[in-house]
């Protein structure tokens, strides 16, 4: 009997990935099916369905679920779910597909056959519908928001129904030893005898503030899963392979052995702030984590969210919505008078004594060749990041926002 938190929905993991003869037969059948091309976000969602990361979903959401998730943060049957998981196509293709038909799902970038969908429902997504989704999920419909832009670029019809998943794309090979499924992380936790595990969500290399957050969690839980996003990011963010190297170096040199595991998952970043924090907690429950570290501006972008909106949203959902609970930690920084890392809750000194840390601020300094202040990041991590920035032929302008400056 596992001592770990049970998967969301309470009925065990529900991976939809085919194997063996069933996979061979399904792939052969799929060659003759109508093809629907998926964006990288949709491909990542399909892989998460395949590996059980989105347990207990069985496929892409129908209109009732979509609307209920947007408006109430729950599926139509009442099960908590904070962000829609949908698949879109254009009206021309949708008109050629009959309800009840099975279609092949193909990644639009690689052309890889990723799975099949039995179309139980087709429903129109007007611009008004897309704006409705954006206002509820992102709290804005401004196209400058990268998550909004992706939703508004979607096709004007959603296809819904159960899926079968054929593979995990490039992730197992490209990120060998880092990319893991929920079954794999749960086995590691159980083999270590861990019962309480805190997930640390990141799309950035870890600076001193991140390191401090993880070490706080180690004091509370049996271990920490540093769980990084391996899908697509916005321009200017640091790619997964560079980030993995930097995080691995930090773990090797600055953490006690067997207290931390580095892993990755296949999603694109949505930049949905508080709603995405809830999704992060939900699928970390499927990965076996009892807690999610929620710091400043979790999953945020620009100035669209307050620095601690993601803390507050956990107080707004039903108490039984999730088993995985947030570890809410205030803004952390290096204080020269404390002579160490501290937070707003533990440091009594003034702003001039504090070195405020953020991933955006670090990326901006490195991209512009600026000197990084002492105590901002470990020297071994900085060496890896400087090599990466030196290799770039094109620079992306990185803008600082209020959440990155503390103003």
What are 257-295's pLDDT values in tens digits? 999 999 999 999 999 999 999 999 999 999 999 999 999
Q: What is the pLDDT of residue 407?
A: 45
Q: What is the pLDDT of residue 365?
A: 85
Give residue for tokens 């839980």.
Answer: 221
Cα–Cα distance measured from residue 168 to residue 50, given in angstroms and rounded to the nearest whole number: 8
Cα–Cα distance measured from residue 36 to residue 407, given in angstroms and rounded to the nearest whole number: 46
Could you tell me which of 232, 399, 201 has the C-alpha nearest to residue 298? 201
CA angle 9, 121, 83 (to 5 degrees): 40
Cα–Cα distance measured from residue 43 to residue 231, given in angstroms and rounded to the nearest whole number: 10
Over residues 127-145, mean pLDDT: 98
Q: Is the pLDDT of residue 254 over 70?
A: yes
Most confident of 172-186, 230-244, 386-400: 172-186
Over residues 114-132, mean pLDDT: 98
Q: Is the pLDDT of residue 357 over 90?
A: no
Write out the H or E segment, with its range, that includes residue 286.
helix 274-286
Helix pair 379-391, 240-254: axis angle to 10 deg: 160
Q: What is the pLDDT of residue 290?
A: 98
Q: What is the pLDDT of residue 405?
A: 47
Beta carbons within 8 Å of 223's beta carbon, 6+ residues apart? 189, 192, 194, 197, 198, 258, 259, 260, 261
Q: Give me 313's structure tokens.
A: 């949203």
Q: Give me 292's structure tokens.
A: 């999610």
Q: Is the pLDDT of residue 404 over 50?
A: no
Give residue for tokens 């060659």.
Answer: 31
pLDDT, the chain, mean: 94
Over residues 87-97, mean pLDDT: 97
Cα–Cα distance measured from residue 165 to residue 388, given in angstroms and rounded to the nearest whole number: 35
**Rounded alpha-carbon distances, angstroms, from residue 128 to 39, 41, 107, 156:** 21, 21, 27, 11
Q: What is the pLDDT of residue 105?
A: 98
pLDDT digit string, tens, across residues 291-317: 999 999 999 998 999 999 999 999 999
354 catalytically annotated: no
Q: What is the pLDDT of residue 100?
A: 97
In the chain, % of residues over pLDDT 90:
86
**Catalytic residue among 41, 158, 186, 203, which?**
203
Q: Is the pLDDT of residue 85 over 50?
A: yes
Q: What is the pLDDT of residue 114?
A: 98
Over residues 400-406, mean pLDDT: 50
Q: What is the pLDDT of residue 402?
A: 53
pTM above 0.85, yes or no: yes
**Catalytic residue among 186, 204, 275, 363, which?**
204
Q: What is the pLDDT of residue 12?
A: 97
Could you tell me which of 379, 147, 356, 337 has the C-alpha nearest to residue 250? 379
Beta carbons within 8 Å of 210's beta carbon, 6+ residues apart? 200, 202, 204, 359
For each of the domains in the chain, give its residue range(s) and CATH number, in order of start. Answer: 20-169 (3.10.400.10), 175-265+271-405 (3.40.50.620)
Q: SS3 of 239, please?
A: coil
203 catalytically annotated: yes
Could you tell me which of 208, 239, 218 has the C-alpha nearest to residue 380? 208
- Better-scored residue on pLDDT, 157 or 366: 157
Torsion of CA 84, 87, 90, 95, to 10 degrees: -110
Cα–Cα distance measured from residue 66 to residue 60, given in angstroms and rounded to the nearest whole number: 9
Please provide the size of the chain in residues: 407
Cα–Cα distance measured from residue 376 to residue 258, given in angstroms and rounded to the nearest whole number: 25
Q: What is the pLDDT of residue 399?
A: 62
Cross-strand pairs, 37: 106
Q: What is the pLDDT of residue 273?
A: 97
Q: What is the pLDDT of residue 124?
A: 97
Residue 284: other Cβ atoms inside 10 A:
29
């Amino acid at each position: 009997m596992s001592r770990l938190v049970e998967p969301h929905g309470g009925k065990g993991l529900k991976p939809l990935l085919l194997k063996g003869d069933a996979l061979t037969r399904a792939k052969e059948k799929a060659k003759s099916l109508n093809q629907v091309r998926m964006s990288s976000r949709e491909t990542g969602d399909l892989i998460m369905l395949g590996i059980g990361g989105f347990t207990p979903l069985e496929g892409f959401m129908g209109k009732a679920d979509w609307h209920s998730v947007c408006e109430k943060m729950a599926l139509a049957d009442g099960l908590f779910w904070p962000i829609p998981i949908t698949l879109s196509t254009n009206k021309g293709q949708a008109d050629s597909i009959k309800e009840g038909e099975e279609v092949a799902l193909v990644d639009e970038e690689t052309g890889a056959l990723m799975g099949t969908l039995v179309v139980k429902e087709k429903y129109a997504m007007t611009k008004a519908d897309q704006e409705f989704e954006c206002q509820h999920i992102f709290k804005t419909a401004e196209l400058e928001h990268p998550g909004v832009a992706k939703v508004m670029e979607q096709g004007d019809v959603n296809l819904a129904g159960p899926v079968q998943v054929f593979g995990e794309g490039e992730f197992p090979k490209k990120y060998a030893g880092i990319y893991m499924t929920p079954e794999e992380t749960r086995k590691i936790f159980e083999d270590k005898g861990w019962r309480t595990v805190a997930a640390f969500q990141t799309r950035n290399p870890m600076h001193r503030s991140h390191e401090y957050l993880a070490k706080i969690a180690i004091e509370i839980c049996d271990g920490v899963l540093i769980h990084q996003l391996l899908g697509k990011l916005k321009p200017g963010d640091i790619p997964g392979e560079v980030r993995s190297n930097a995080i691995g170096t930090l773990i090797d040199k600055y953490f006690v052995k067997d207290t931390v595991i580095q892993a990755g998952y296949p999603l694109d970043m949505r930049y949905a702030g508080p709603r995405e924090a809830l999704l992060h907690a939900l699928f970390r429950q499927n990965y076996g984590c009892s807690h999610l570290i929620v710091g400043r501006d979790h999953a945020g972008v620009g100035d669209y969210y307050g620095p601690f909106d993601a803390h507050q949203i956990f107080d707004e959902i039903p108490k039984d919505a999730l088993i995985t609970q947030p570890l809410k930690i205030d803004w952390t920084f290096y204080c020269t008078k404390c002579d160490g890392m501290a937070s707003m809750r533990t440091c009594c000194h003034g702003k001039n004594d504090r070195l405020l840390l953020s991933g955006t601020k670090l990326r901006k300094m490195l991209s512009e060749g600026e000197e990084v202040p002492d105590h901002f990041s470990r020297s071994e991590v900085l060496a890896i990041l400087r090599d990466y920035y030196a290799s770039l032929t094109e620079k992306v302008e990185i803008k600082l926002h209020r959440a990155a400056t503390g103003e």
